[in-house]
Amino acid sequence: MKKFKRVVSVVALASLAASLTIGCGDSENNKEDSKEPTKSEQGEEKKEKDPSKKSIKMYITGYESDTFKPLYDKGIEKFEEENPDIDIDVIPAGWDEATSKLLSLIQANETPDVIISGTRELRQLSELGALEPLDEYMTDEFKSKRVENVLDTAKIDGKQYGIPLAFSSKALYYRTDLVPEPPKTWDELEATAKKVVEENPDVKGFAIGTDIDAVPDLLNFFYQNEGRITDEEGNVKLNTEANIETMDFLKKLNDEGLMPNPVDTKRTNISDLFANKKLAMFVSGPWEKDKIGNEANDPDAEIPYNVTTLPKGKVMAETLVTDSYAISALSEDKETAWKLIETMGDFEVQNNYNEAMGFFPILKEEEKEDRYESDFLKPFAEMIQYGVPEPHMPISADFQKGIMDAVKKVMMGEASSKEALDKLQEDLSK
């Protein structure tokens, strides 16, 4: 069996696995409580393995949730119908166990053939020697069917280590009964939030999560201020003047009492504050519409709201977030693993997944779908042109935890923006 290209330490693997969940907190994939009984726990029979068939293992976090299981099953069933001699052995992981389970599989040299990962984790996985480069598997026809800049988000140093399966965009949600005219700039965001709080003392003007799930939302602000997290080689470059200014701006919003308590503001709870009229504005993806429970721009709705493009800092910008399929370097049947990825990326399967989740096109053919012309999705679609890919970092998990800890310290007055970013830069450079 092929060994990793370098010795993988337990510490490195633990750091890696700390953030390996589908969507990596951005697509709201963890909106279903992993503690709720799944169908399998309620007695649904699991598919019996046929020993005469070849088996391909596929690692899917959140697979047993009622939201994701039917979406993935659509592709898996299609593959098994087209390849009756092959069984797909899904290795499900709950959100709370994704870390330890994948870590255990890697340490035991039992890494699944196909892994679903946040694209930002690919550099770390590839540098550990855990992933197979996919360039030789991609034909010109395969590449021609895909949205090029989305496909490119899964490249590391010019090599394709992942095939994107999910691509999300963001917009500003605002309650129309609190915000008649949405802000278009940072200055207007602050002024609008201040006016809301002045007129409604029990309502906060704007919120951003301070848990790891909210890292992409924080990066939006860095990018809008022309900041970056890494240099072109992927080296951490945090303590720049632009990034310090961004942290100062967020601290100002908090100091003025415009935001919820930064210590315990979880990204997954923000839309609940919004729905309960405790919050006027927040940033998120199209999936929030289902949580809110009614259509946007309906003045007679129980929760009156609308969406608009993200406020402009020095520039318009948002974080391009994708999740990707990858093939383990330890897979003994990489050709079949690739064949499975191709089937999961078939138009019927991919389009069904994106429509259900409110994601944006992976395939060029999807761009013709009528839903992308809806008034609701237009602001999300408009933001894509200003997208900046998530940074590929060999220490992605450490960065995610570190940057949100730094934000909390700054907002709570425990460190200045420069002190917090200097310290994180030092820690990540060790």
Instruction: Indicate the DSSP class of residue 234.
Output: S
* Residue 84 CB-density burial (10 A; 0-12 exposed, 13-18 middle, 19+ buried): exposed
Q: Where are the alpha helices (DSSP H) in 48-184?
A: 69-82, 98-107, 122-127, 140-144, 148-151
The continuous run of DSSP H or E covering 59 comes out as strand 54-61
Integer CA distances (angstroms), 82 to 63, 90, 232, in order: 22, 17, 43
**How far is 153 from 285, CA to CA, in rounded Å?**
19
CA-based R_g, the chain, Å = 22
The token pair that represents 99 in the structure block: 């870390």
Q: Residue 299's pLDDT is what? A: 82
Q: How many residues are recorded in the chain?
A: 430
The DSSP string of 169-208 is --EEEEETTT-SS---BHHHHHHHHHHHHHH-TTSEEEE-
Instruction: Indicate the DSSP class of residue 21.
Output: S
CA neighbor of 82 nearest in space, from 333, 343, 337? 343
The pLDDT tens digits of the residues spanning 98-157 come to 556 776 887 888 889 999 888 888 888 888 888 999 999 999 999 999 999 899 999 998
Whether 21 shows a pLDDT value over 50: the answer reads no
**How far is 408 from 400, CA to CA, in rounded Å?**
13
| Torsional sign, CA 35, 37, 38, 43 | positive
The pLDDT tens digits of the residues spanning 334-370 come to 999 999 999 999 999 999 999 998 899 999 999 999 9
Question: Chain centroid to CA 350: how far?
Answer: 17
Angle of helix 241-255 relative to helix 417-428, nearest 10 degrees?
Answer: 130
Q: Residue 26's pLDDT is what? A: 55
Backbone torsions φ then ψ of 155, nearest 5 degrees: -95, 140
The pLDDT tens digits of the residues spanning 152-200 come to 999 998 999 999 999 999 999 999 999 999 999 999 999 999 999 999 9
Q: What is the mean pLDDT of residues 319-327?
A: 92
**How far is 47 from 144, CA to CA, in rounded Å?**
36
Would you say 70 and 353 are in contact if contact means Cβ atoms under 8 Å apart?
no
Instruction: Indicate the DSSP class of residue 85.
Output: T
Backbone torsions φ then ψ of 58, nearest 5 degrees: -130, 120
The pLDDT tens digits of the residues spanning 58-84 come to 998 778 888 889 999 999 999 999 999
Would you say 136 and 166 are in contact if contact means Cβ atoms under 8 Å apart?
no
